[in-house]
Amino acid sequence: MKKHTLTTQTGIGLIETLLIVLFVSIAVVSLLNFQHYLSYSTNNNQQQFDANILAINEIETLRDFQVLPVTAGYTAYASIASGSTNSTVGNTAYSIVWTVTTNASPSYKTIDVTVSWTDRYNNSRSVRLTSQVAGVDPSTSAAIK
């Protein structure tokens, strides 16, 4: 007669259970870190988008003149000058600075707008846009000669 020894395992051992818990814990921590990174990236992209919109709006405001020389009641090309302002979008405060350079021949002005802000990790960020505005009377700018 053969003697049978019990060699089959009847359940999960403590070491196997601890390894499964360890692997699941590492996976959860990794997913949480990835989610945090995605949240920061999305927030940073939104801030950069808002900064671009603010820069474009400032350029369009400066380009929107009605007459060349300073005339009471009208926005004038001659009045386009350097300046700065602040704006808040959502929870972010933006600093908007524009520099205007006048060129004589041909007559045009270069507008350089920089929008700066601080992200949630106190990193300084900025967006810079440049445009040029011709010194042409708006009433004749579309005329064909």
pLDDT, tens only, 16-44: 889 999 999 999 998 888 887 788 888 99
Give the three-class secondary structure for 40. helix
Tokens 């601890």 belong to: 18
Instruction: Of 71, 64, 74, 63, give the one whose Cα is nearest residue 110.
Output: 63
> Based on the structure, what is the number of domains in the chain?
1
Give residue 106's pLDDT. 87
Tell me the pTM.
0.75
- Residue 114, domain extent: 14-134
Return d(Cα 82, Cα 111) in angstroms, integer: 8
Count of residues for the chain?
Answer: 145
Judge whether 83 lies within some domain.
Answer: yes
Return d(Cα 114, Cα 60) in angstroms, integer: 14
Q: Which helix (H) or strand (E) holds 29?
A: helix 14-63
Give residue 15's pLDDT. 87
Low-confidence spans in the chain with pLDDT less than 50: none
Give residue 130's pLDDT. 97
Judge whether 139 lies within some domain.
Answer: no
